[in-house]
Amino acid sequence: ETGVTQTPRHLVMGMTNKKSLKCEQHLGHNAMYWYKQSAKKPLELMFVYNFKEQTENNSVPSRFSPECPNSSHLFLHLHTLQPEDSALYLCASSLDWTAGTGELFFGEGSRLTVL
Amino acid sequence: GQSLEQPSEVTAVEGAIVQINCTYQTSGFYGLSWYQQHDGGAPTFLSYNALDGLEETGRFSSFLSRSDSYGYLLLQELQMKDSASYFCAVLAGGGNKLTFGTGTQLKVEL
């Protein structure tokens, strides 16, 4: 139990579907992250929110749309995805974006398959 | 840009010592982190080195040489449960922004 919960754990969707991934952290942190993990590739940072404000967008295609309504919740809205978007999407949190501690608390991820 | 290199696979026997190396190229370097990830699990934080030298936490130690852009994770008294992927990650460029390596899959055998 890492204190970061992601749902759903597995998701299969067609290229025309719209779905959302949800992340919730119970650690009292103020920064939340989305990472993409594909086989044989490094974890790729997608988005960062600090105190609900987006601080990083790592040139992510607009078919991925993040939402951070408060410091405890983070969503990733998905629409018109491509098969190459199939991956494990990891949510993480840290106490504060500006305090570079090198420590992130990850959830177990949402395994996405795009058909 | 930033790049990290670490071996893709390492195999060792139970009770042994193993060292996983990581070399990096980056600008605005602050420190080097290590994470462990079991199959199907969340990456979990192991250590962070901002200064040169060795830091020990139980059976695991992490080393950093900033002048050589090099670090390693040392695992002692290996146990079967240590079989997992290990990622190095550089903290660079401001904020808590981590760039990860491709990971080293460690297999511990009897």
Instruction: Quick: pLDDT tens for A31-74.
Output: 999 999 998 889 999 999 999 999 999 999 999 999 999 999 99
Residue A71 Rama label (left phi>0; alpha psi -120 to 50; beta): alpha
Interchain contact, B96 vs A45, CB within 8 Å:
no
d(CA A110, CA B82): 24
Q: Is the pLDDT of residue B6 over 80?
A: yes
Question: Is the CB of B95 less than 8 angstroms away from the CB of A100?
Answer: yes
Please, are residues A105 and B33 in contact by the beta-carbon 8 Å criterion?
no
Tell me if B42 and A40 make a contact (CB, 8 A cut-off).
no
Question: Is the pLDDT confidence value at A1 over 80?
Answer: no
pLDDT class of A16 with cuts at 50, 70, 90: confident
- Report the chain A residue with the minimal C-alpha distance to residue B104: A40
How far apart are the C-alpha atoms of B40 and B25, rounded to whole Å? 29
- Mean of the per-residue pLDDT values for chain A? 95
Cβ contact, residue pair B31, A102, below 8 Å? yes
pLDDT more than 90, % of chain B = 92
What sign does the CA torsion over A64, A61, A72, B31 have?
positive
Counting residues of chain A whose pLDDT is more than 70, the rounded percentage is: 100
Quick one: pLDDT band at residue B98, thresholds 50, 70, 90?
very high
pLDDT, one tens digit per residue, over B8-41 is: 999 999 999 999 999 999 999 999 999 999 998 9
Residue B50 CA to chain centroid, in angstroms?
14
Q: What is the pLDDT of residue B93?
A: 83
| pLDDT, tens digit (0-9, with 9 covering 90-100), for B36-84 | 999 989 999 999 999 999 999 999 999 999 999 999 999 999 999 999 9
* CB-CB neighbors (< 8 A) of B98 in chain A: 45, 102, 104
CB contacts < 8 A (A, B): 73
Q: What is the pLDDT of residue A23?
A: 98
